[in-house]
Amino acid sequence: MNELYLLTGGGKIKCLRCTAKSTRTKQQCARPALKISRTQKCQFHGGRGQTDESKRRSAKANWVHGQSTNAAKESYRRDSAKLRELEDVMHVLKMAPGPKTRGRKPAGYRGVYTEADVVRWMRDLHTP
């Protein structure tokens, strides 16, 4: 049952109750909602909200290193697709002794299955 108010301080203080519900037990949170909360939540369920400034501070505080920038990730994706295509070229030309690598193909991957695809791959490789 949703109760709108909560009595605290030995029944002397009446305040709004947090409206968050447990997904497991389906019971309403028993903590008082923060006065500054627009969504009537307690501090544990997001009552304080986040300003743009606090999001920037959090992102800066949680920055681990500069190796995972968007440019670095894109470069990694591109290189992974090229390696996978190279492996396909080796199999088409019967240069690889073992089976192909299993798993999902990387983003940007273009399959190489025939000798015509090998020629296309070589042209794309040398085109700036």
Q: Which residues have CB under 8 Å from 121's CB, separation 6+? A: 85, 89, 110, 112
Q: Give the pLDDT confidence of 73-121 residue by residue, as tens digits.
A: 888 899 999 999 999 999 999 998 888 889 999 988 999 999 999 999 9
For residue 67, the model assigns a pLDDT of 64
For residue 1, the model assigns a pLDDT of 55
Q: Helix, strand, or coil here: 16?
A: strand
Contact 112, 88 (CB under 8 A): yes
Same domain membership, residue 78 and residue 44: no
Same domain membership, residue 79 and residue 122: yes
- pLDDT higher than 80, residue 7: yes
Q: Give the pLDDT confidence of 38-64 residue by residue, as tens digits.
A: 888 888 888 777 778 888 888 888 777
For residue 85, the model assigns a pLDDT of 93
- Domain extent, residue 99, equals 72-126
| Residue 97 lies inside a defined structural domain of this protein | yes
